[in-house]
Structure 1
């Protein structure tokens, strides 16, 4: 057993050694040692080698040797034969083994016993120390309790001290508002104290702050009395500010009115017409210098206007005094200057209006700029002041305007006021020229009123009642003369080009016809009939000068008078020349009117209200028939019915000037087309009309009678084939002889190929239709083939060719005249 134990010990020891060796194994270290740890182990190894021969080690080696010797003797002893021998041997071995193997344990046991004694001693010391610590803890808790009580008392004392300090500070602050009032009164009553000093604003701030505080704490003792004192202080300060500002403004005004300048500068004092540097320095320089002195205090007052009414009243008084001084300086000067301008440009009303308005615009801008150099708050008194200056302009200029009779002058003045002054100047700086805008609007309204008044007189005298001279009605002579002038001018231009050896193209028929496309001298503005020219000039002048409703009313009246006068002139020309000349004259100028009024972007429609009294007559007649029921109580009271049924009816009618022009143009064109058709194929149309009347007079109830009626038309002498043929021949002669002259007149008057074609197309259609109707009439009334051969009615194509040849003949004759 002991051997097994020894083997186990060796095995455990070896296993322990192996595990120790694996701690620092290179492949799988259990606990890898650092460099420092390896160095320590090497040092320990060296030290252990030096101490290997110590006495304890020697003794241990001896014991080990003895044990080995005893074990060898035991193993080499005689064999055991009996139990007692075994027991004695076992006891001996046991004693030997205990003596050899338990020395280490005995020694360890002794050491542990010694350690236990030491621990017991240490435990006794620890219990003693613990007892001492318990005493210290109790003493610490006592001291801590006392210290906490002392800290609590100290914190309370500090808190009480802070509370007292706050109360003291608050009391000091409250008392400050009561204690400072006497000091403030003394400083304000000091005659050497100036408003311009920096401390003055601080004093006013203190007064405002203290009064506000006292007003919020009227429950304090004597608060009302101190409030009154602070109000007196404020009134004193306000009065000092007022006196200071008034003194500076009065000084500036005195420097302007009594400048210490040379004599030529004194002469310029009462005239602002020339905005020279000297005059500007006189009227504005002194005040600009003064603004620097009082600008700070005025800004200070303006900041407090919303807080206290006293400052608001002070600011209003300062505004009033400042503007009063400016009125003293500017009113007479502005009035004299405007009067001088009016005298200078008395004959030129447009320059007068432009110069006076421009002058006053500059004055308003300068006054506005000067006012805001002193103040930053807008004032209604400033508007009143500028309005007074502007009224000077109105009072001086209006008498000239209301006595102007010339329409063009009035229209130009309207343009100056509306475009140059209101749009270009006022709208660009409306804040400074707000009052100027009102005065300009009044002048514009007065000018427009005068313009409308003179326009009505002009329309009546120069358009409606216009009496043309013989030269105005010299048509078509006037047009022929202008056409010859145009041809002469063209020939002279060609000769000039040939003389200069410049390349020129031959003048062909298309270039000659280009003279009749609207660029002819006969179609120039100067060749228009005077009433047409005056009407269009009148409308163009008034288009941008008056309001749209007024323009619509005047345009309606002007066009109505013009159409009426054109119709009268057309009748006069027709009486002297021919109906064709009269109607072409009217058509030409109606086309001009329609073309020239098209660009006006207004509605020429006007609503006209009138009373219709047609029902009054009927109601009065019924009243006479019901005289017995005049005072009837029943519902059939005649008098009541008269008042109900006999009331005049209000009717509204829309008048359109453009439609009136188109309507008159349509009537004139239809009359011209009918007249030309009658001139060319009048005999044929007369025969057709007579034949239709004759056939209507014949009875048509029975077929026999109808047949005899148709045959009777052929038997009439005026409807014989030979007679009808004469009608056709006469119409064909007219187409060859009269139609070229008519087309020539159309060329001369209309001067536009497209318009001529439009006008000639219905004439052409009517001529062709007249021959077609004649053929249908003869066929319907049983004219035989022989009769039709005698009549020899031309076909539609033949008539068309004849008309085209007539047109070509007109162009050929026209070109021959040009070549001549």
Structure 2
């Protein structure tokens, strides 16, 4: 009986190929070869089953039948032969894999051994590299050192031949040879090397020797240049036979000798001196600057002395010509001619100098020498300045040099103005001498014309009231101040400047009434002459010296001038007030107003000068000594007794002069004077208006006095207002004066009203008398209305005029 194949392994594999439900089979099928064989076997089994289960037709191929038949037979023979074969093959493969695995382990062990050996080799190689690198570095250093030794020795070896050549130089002309320039370059290189390598043995000693060689070489250049200048100077003198003959030569011929002939050696001179200049200004030679500068300055001196010997006769000859020509002329013309000549002379010398010396490095030296070159001008001007007494002339002389002092030293504009020749330094000695002389003459002028001025009794009197001058047919007015005080050119110039300025403004205005304007101009000019003469001289002096002197000196000088002017004004005011004591109050008001007018003029005028009024004054106080001798003279015994009773140290302490530091402010002094005179004017005006109307007496009629007070205000206030207008032009000041008078009278009336009210309350005065007088607010309104009417009418009158 044939066994069914339904449950056979082949059938099961054929029916269920590789699935995840048969884990044991999956492991066997991992072999691709076995899988292929099983797949073929499965196909053969399926084809055999299909042939037998069909309708018996012979539709399959013969190959499949044979395979199926042989498969069936094989299954019958040994159903596990495939598996055994497969196991055998697996075992064989396993053995092969074990062999391969063993070989792989051996190779791995060998590789690990090789890696360890390579690490050892790497460490040995690193150590070798480090060792060879050190050796290489040392070898490179030694190689470089070996190569540098000849070059280094060269800096030392050249010293002996250089010293021999310099020590045996028989003539300074050696400097013209090219080898001399090469030798200088070698010295420079050796010095630079020794400065950079000071650690070398004996480097300091060699540096000193090379420095001596450098100084010696520069001295040879200096001697050569000196001989060159001396030879050229001698040639010029030989051709002119005598240096004084240069004076008599025509200017073109003289310039040919002084400049053209002299400049023929400029190229040779400049080439050689540049060697010294270059090293003197080189920062690398800062250790040798003193010696090099000494040699360079010697070259400067030789050049300047040579030029000075040639120029001095010519300069003095020209100064003599100017002195003769300007003998009868003033100082200004002499200074102008001398200034023009020396400007051109310095310009020519500067142009020649830069042909001999490098301009940028040596410009400062020629400007210093110009001061020596201009000494003849300084001497001649100094003699004339010491003889000059006119302040205007001195100021005009200072003005000649004003263009050189417009800009602050060091500013951009200053550097542009004085790129070559510093004319401000060149003419500074002249300006200083002029300013010193000007200060002296100003002090003398102040003493003679301000402090020593003797005012007359009518200096502030009514004759100086404001009024229209009587003009002559030709329009000329005499200078009242000059007539009273003698001729004063400074004052006349100041007054004339005012007159000319007013006349210029008159003609410049568009008006149809030129005659009226000319009359007003003459009127203003005449009013200027009514001021206190020392005041006008003070203003004339300040306006003249303004910006003529150093600002600090001017401030100090102007302060004392203003202070002295105030003292002179105050003394005149006190003198006139004492003289007019006991006279009418009207005269006193005129004096106060005139004094106020002058102080206001002083205040308004000095504001234009930008004066720093405050100054420190230090002086010795001998008041203790003065007191002692005065007391000793008046009461000698008592003083001696007091001296004996007190200690000697106490007496000595009292007699020692004290140093006093005093802060003086002329502006404060002026303001104080203004306040005082306004106070005096206000009090005097109030007394004139009040009279005796505010006196309290029981037996007098208060109403009558009150009416009198009102009448005084109505009658006298307009006249006082007219008096103020006669002296004061400023309407604001006029208003302030009237306000001050109104305030003082109102305060006096308030005290008066309060006093009589208190008397009435104490029944010392009848109440009906108090009721008859004006209340305080009524009086205040009344006075204010009167003042307002005066100001309004006065303004209308001014506008009408």
Aligned counterpart, 1:555: 562
- Change in 2 beyond 3 A, CA 1:572/1:316: same
Q: Which has the larger Rg? A: 1
- Change in 2 beyond 3 A, CA 1:433/1:339: farther
Aligned counterpart, 2:338: 356
- Change in 2 beyond 3 A, CA 1:230/1:453: closer
Aligned counterpart, 2:370: 386
Question: Following TM superposition, by how much is the alpha carbon of 1:594 offset from its aligned partner in structure 2, in angstroms?
Answer: 1.9
2:379 is the alignment partner of 1:395 = yes
Inter-partner Cα distance in structure 2 for 1:772 and 1:303: 92
Inter-partner Cα distance in structure 1 for 2:156 and 2:741: 114
Inter-partner Cα distance in structure 1 for 2:182 and 2:162: 14
2:614 is the alignment partner of 1:604 = yes
Deviations 1:470-510 (A, max 9, x none): 99667456512259999xx99x99xx96799xxxxxxxxxx
- Change in 2 beyond 3 A, CA 1:166/1:389: closer
- Change in 2 beyond 3 A, CA 1:270/1:325: farther
Match of 1:764 among 713, 718, 742: 742
- Change in 2 beyond 3 A, CA 1:362/1:196: same
Aligned counterpart, 2:303: 322
2:565 is the alignment partner of 1:578 = no
Partner SS state of residue 466, structure 1: coil
Inter-partner Cα distance in structure 1 for 2:159 and 2:684: 113
Match of 1:541 among 529, 540, 544: 544
2:745 is the alignment partner of 1:735 = no
Match of 2:391 among 407, 417, 436: 407
Q: RMSD across aligned C-alpha pairs, in angstroms?
A: 6.1
* Preserved contact between residue 411 and residue 542 of structure 1 (Cα < 8 Å): yes
Inter-partner Cα distance in structure 1 for 2:255 and 2:443: 47
Match of 1:291 among 266, 285, 300: 266
Match of 1:564 among 564, 571, 574: 571
Aligned counterpart, 1:720: 700
Inter-partner Cα distance in structure 1 for 2:254 and 2:562: 49
Deviations 1:366-420 (A, max 9, x none): 4345334323465998677433213222211111112221223323434444663
Deviations 1:201-236 (A, max 9, x none): 23555688899999999x99xxx9xx999999997x
Inter-partner Cα distance in structure 2 for 1:578 and 1:565: 15
Aligned pairs for 1:447-466 within 5 A = 447-466=434-453
* Preserved contact between residue 360 and residue 390 of structure 1 (Cα < 8 Å): yes
2:263 is the alignment partner of 1:253 = no
Inter-partner Cα distance in structure 1 for 2:576 and 2:733: 22
Aligned counterpart, 2:487: none
* Preserved contact between residue 693 and residue 709 of structure 2 (Cα < 8 Å): yes
* Preserved contact between residue 643 and residue 651 of structure 2 (Cα < 8 Å): no
Partner SS state of residue 691, structure 2: helix
Question: Following TM superposition, by how much is the alpha carbon of 1:798 offset from its aligned partner in structure 2, in angstroms?
Answer: 5.3
Partner SS state of residue 663, structure 2: strand
TM-score (norm 2): 0.59
Question: Following TM superposition, by how much is the alpha carbon of 1:754 offset from its aligned partner in structure 2, in angstroms?
Answer: 1.3
Question: Following TM superposition, by how much is the alpha carbon of 1:583 offset from its aligned partner in structure 2, in angstroms?
Answer: 1.1
- Change in 2 beyond 3 A, CA 1:758/1:249: same
Match of 2:315 among 331, 334, 340: 334
Inter-partner Cα distance in structure 1 for 2:638 and 2:445: 51
Deviations 1:524-549 (A, max 9, x none): 64553322221122233344315143
* Preserved contact between residue 450 and residue 564 of structure 2 (Cα < 8 Å): no
2:666 is the alignment partner of 1:657 = yes
Aligned counterpart, 2:468: 481
2:686 is the alignment partner of 1:677 = yes
Question: Following TM superposition, by how much is the alpha carbon of 1:326 offset from its aligned partner in structure 2, in angstroms?
Answer: 0.5
* Preserved contact between residue 608 and residue 655 of structure 1 (Cα < 8 Å): no
2:186 is the alignment partner of 1:201 = no
Question: Following TM superposition, by how much is the alpha carbon of 1:281 offset from its aligned partner in structure 2, in angstroms?
Answer: 5.3
Inter-partner Cα distance in structure 2 for 1:649 and 1:720: 61
Question: Following TM superposition, by how much is the alpha carbon of 1:596 offset from its aligned partner in structure 2, in angstroms?
Answer: 2.2
Inter-partner Cα distance in structure 1 for 2:194 and 2:713: 116
Question: Following TM superposition, by how much is the alpha carbon of 1:674 offset from its aligned partner in structure 2, in angstroms?
Answer: 1.4
Aligned counterpart, 1:374: 356
Aligned pairs for 1:772-783 within 5 A = 772-779=750-757, 780-781=759-760, 782=763, 783=765
Question: Following TM superposition, by how much is the alpha carbon of 1:303 offset from its aligned partner in structure 2, in angstroms?
Answer: 4.3
Partner SS state of residue 581, structure 1: helix
Partner SS state of residue 683, structure 1: coil
Inter-partner Cα distance in structure 2 for 1:327 and 1:523: 58
Partner SS state of residue 654, structure 1: strand
- Change in 2 beyond 3 A, CA 1:438/1:737: same
Question: Following TM superposition, by how much is the alpha carbon of 1:661 offset from its aligned partner in structure 2, in angstroms?
Answer: 1.8
2:604 is the alignment partner of 1:595 = yes
Partner SS state of residue 617, structure 2: strand
Inter-partner Cα distance in structure 2 for 1:230 and 1:456: 60
- Change in 2 beyond 3 A, CA 1:285/1:474: farther
Inter-partner Cα distance in structure 2 for 1:349 and 1:573: 48
* Preserved contact between residue 232 and residue 262 of structure 2 (Cα < 8 Å): yes
* Preserved contact between residue 684 and residue 774 of structure 1 (Cα < 8 Å): no
Question: Following TM superposition, by how much is the alpha carbon of 1:584 offset from its aligned partner in structure 2, in angstroms?
Answer: 0.9
Partner SS state of residue 655, structure 1: strand
Inter-partner Cα distance in structure 2 for 1:664 and 1:231: 77
Deviations 1:414-435 (A, max 9, x none): 444466358589954779667x
